[in-house]
Amino acid sequence: MKKFALIITFILTITLTGCGGYKELNNLSIVTAVAFDKTNDEYELSFLIANSPKAQTSAKEGEAKTTVYTGKGKTIAEASKDIEQIVPKQIYLGHINVVIISENIAEDGFLKIADWLLRNPQTRKKFYLLQAKDVSAKNILKIVSPLESFPSQSIATLIESNSETKSIASSITYSNFISQILEKGYDPILPSITIKGSVKKGSNEKNLETTEPESYLVLGPIAIYKGDKLEGFLSEKESWAINVLKNEAKEVNYNVKYQNQDISIETSSLKSNIKIIDEKTIEITISGVGDIYNINNQIDIQNYKEINKIEKTWSKSLKQDLSKVVKKVQNKYKSDIFGFGNLIYKNNPKTWETLEKEWNSKYFPNLKVKIKTNLKINATGSLEKTIKEAQ
């Protein structure tokens, strides 16, 4: 009898909780991405909402699977209430995976909007954070991609693939960004994102049907912050160099000019080690092993002496590129995105107390940064000779 009662209880539990959960989910407007803009002293908050299939119907081919709703207000909370008045279902923020912030929001200070995200109990704080460049943040959410059902997923995939292969963008979550702002002697960075092509064409369903999309999203250079405020953008090459220095570059493809020819060296093991000499001097050692994958000249790449010369050329060229970026960040932005001050603080808190107030304005710009390299070429690719030599 007890066994029978347990079986009945189990069946009722599965049935009731299953139906209840289904009805609850069906009544939610699930937000997958959020955009923050500001115009004329008013905040604009945009939600990218996943469209649930209509009852007893199936989605038509090419039908938009998402909708962007925008609200305005003197505060973010007001703008959120504005959206709630036009969205027919209860808004749910537990599945956000991307947040985009506009340039004017970032220049005004990110912490002014961060509180709304932090205090909302539904958000998981693990979503990707990106800086819109040259376009409004809400327009980023409107661009549809043939490769992903949701624009938010397209953006997340773009960040992940680029951080793995090109090493120009780095994947930064809300939690990472906030922790960098709050850290002593550390200024944050963000990957930027922009639109290539027309916003109107990119948000049209026809953009899903063409073999060559008329508009698409592309990751831009790194955005540099000082505290919670945007200072400016680096170039693509400079962004790559920053990720090398910060130990965020996973795969590196570097072109070396040798005997008036381009040699391509690829490495997935480039490592950066930062060492404090004293409060006025920092030493960075870049080490790694690379493979030659492209060579356009009759160079004997089986000759050890020739390889040694290429290694030295690689080292010299890389040092120059990294040093230029460090000096630019020190002199133009005066923003310690490398966390040199944080290392001094952790190594000697008392010394940091004497430097902290003037770190960005005085000490960081005048810091002597020595860059050393320990680079080796491990292999010469699959061909012992170039195609021209083999003929």
Q: Which helix (H) or strand (E) holds 72?
A: strand 66-73
Cα-Cα-Cα-Cα torsion 102, 105, 107, 110, nearest 10 degrees, comes to: -110
Q: Is pLDDT of 24 > 70?
A: no
Average pLDDT over every residue of 166-179: 84
Tokens 């870049």 found at: 286
Lowest mean pLDDT: which of 53-67, 173-187, 300-314?
A: 53-67
Q: Is pLDDT of 147 > 60?
A: no
Lowest mean pLDDT: which of 47-51, 288-292, 318-322, 385-389?
A: 385-389
Q: What percent of the chain has pLDDT over 90?
A: 49
CATH top class, domain 238-391: alpha beta
DSSP 18: H
What is the per-residue pLDDT for 210? 53
Reported pTM: 0.82
What is the per-residue pLDDT for 280? 94
DSSP 173: B
Measured CA to CA, the distance from residue 161 to residue 134 in angstroms comes to: 23
| Relative orientation angle of helices 236-245 and 304-328, to the nearest 10 degrees | 100
3-state secondary structure of 251: coil
Measured CA to CA, the distance from residue 138 to residue 34 in angstroms comes to: 8
The pair of structure tokens assigned to 272 is 């950066």
Average pLDDT over every residue of 357-361: 96
Domain range list for the chain: 18-233, 238-391
The pLDDT tens digits for 207-228 are 455 556 677 888 889 999 999 9
Nearest to 106 by CA among 194, 46, 178, 38: 38
Chain centroid to Cα 208, Å, comes to 25
What is the per-residue pLDDT for 17? 45
| Whether the Cβ atoms of residue 242 and residue 182 lie closer than 8 Å to each other | no
Tokens 């376009």 found at: 135
Average pLDDT over every residue of 68-86: 94
Cα-Cα-Cα-Cα torsion 7, 11, 17, 19, nearest 10 degrees, comes to: 180
What is the full DSSP assignment across 223-257? EEEETTEEEEE--HHHHHHHHHHTT--SSEEEEEE
Measured CA to CA, the distance from residue 10 to residue 154 in angstroms comes to: 41
The pLDDT tens digits for 223-277 are 999 999 999 999 989 999 999 999 888 778 888 888 888 888 988 778 999 999 9
Res. 25 pLDDT band, cuts 50 70 90: low
Q: Is pLDDT of 51 > 60?
A: yes
